[in-house]
Amino acid sequence: MKIYNEFAIHDKVEIPSDASCLGAFDGIHLGHQKLFENARAKYSNFQIITFDIVPKKYFNTQHQLILDNNTKSELISKYYPQNLIFLKFEEIKNLQTLEFCDFLSKNCKTKRIFVGNDFRFGKNREGRVEDLQNYFGIENILTLDDVYYDNLKVSSTKIKEFLSEGNIEQANRLLGYNYNFVGKVIKGQNLGSKIGFPTANLNIEPEEIILDNGVYFVNVFINSNKYKGAMNIGYKPTVSDIKKRSIEIHILDFDSNIYDQTIKVEVNKLIRKEVKFNSIDQLTDQISKDIDKINKY
């Protein structure tokens, strides 16, 4: 898979593909996966065209994303596209409908497109699937109807809703894999160590993670090894007066130094919401119960 990052209006792919999947693809959920599978079943040398910045994020910096581009690339690679193209949205956002179609044809060298039935494109989102059909031919635009799981329409919006509510299991079902992210381990205040539960602090802004404050059962991947963990997102109100959210993980059966290492965190289940306890003893008792519960999974 050849990856084109920040693919600009004057760039061109080196080798044409028989078909392209086109979309923002935030989450690479079951619907996106179905689109990729449809393309690959018909054309082994297909490519995937997406954006370096999801358009909704470009126009609203507070918009939360399910995946970063590195994780997105990793998931997409499992479908073996010939090319993965991240269009430079800053440059293409003002292309008119016909200009964008020309760009897809001449620069991305595509002639067939697999796309969701509600896809919009071009300046002011004026372009529709019908415009792609008019340009490339109806027979060359293959649309995907909405995908459902247990009578629920699969969508990035619905998945983010489940994640923010703590319904991790349902979000993971719609994703088709466990929600995950990566972060570098940094030095913290050692508050966990002082109460007997050392933690790995991550350098991720909590606002980038679509989870409410609480304790979560997670899997942690370090140097290809998998460990269970108890992850806390929040303000640690029992042990700290600092009003700053943080992400830290107590990794079970692990005691190595991993400062400055990048680890992958896979979220399985919300154990409980964040609570301010009346004493450190109450907190440590509850953490022990949380770990006992996690050990049973």
Kindly state whether residues 140 and 191 are assigned to the same domain. no
Kindly state whether residues 135 and 47 are assigned to the same domain. yes
Q: Pick the closest to residue 215 from 234, 199, 232, 240 (CA basis).
A: 232
The answer to whether residue 169 is domain-embedded is no
Kindly state whether residues 124 and 12 are assigned to the same domain. yes
The tally of domains found in the chain comes to 2
Q: Pick the closest to residue 229 from 283, 294, 277 (CA basis).
A: 294
pLDDT above 90 for 245: no
Written as six digits, the tokens of 249 are 């993980």
- Domain range for 213 is 178-295
Question: Tell me: the pLDDT tens digits for 125-158?
Answer: 999 999 999 999 999 999 999 999 999 999 999 9
- Alpha-helical segments (H) within the chain: 30-42, 55-59, 69-77, 89-92, 97-106, 129-136, 156-165, 168-175, 191-194, 280-295
Kindly state whether residues 43 and 136 are assigned to the same domain. yes
The answer to whether residue 234 is domain-embedded is yes
Question: Tell me: the pLDDT tens digits for 97-130?
Answer: 999 999 999 999 999 999 999 999 999 999 999 9
pLDDT band for 237, please (50, 70, 90 cuts).
confident
Question: Tell me: the pLDDT tens digits for 196-208?
Answer: 788 999 998 877 8
The answer to whether residue 162 is domain-embedded is no
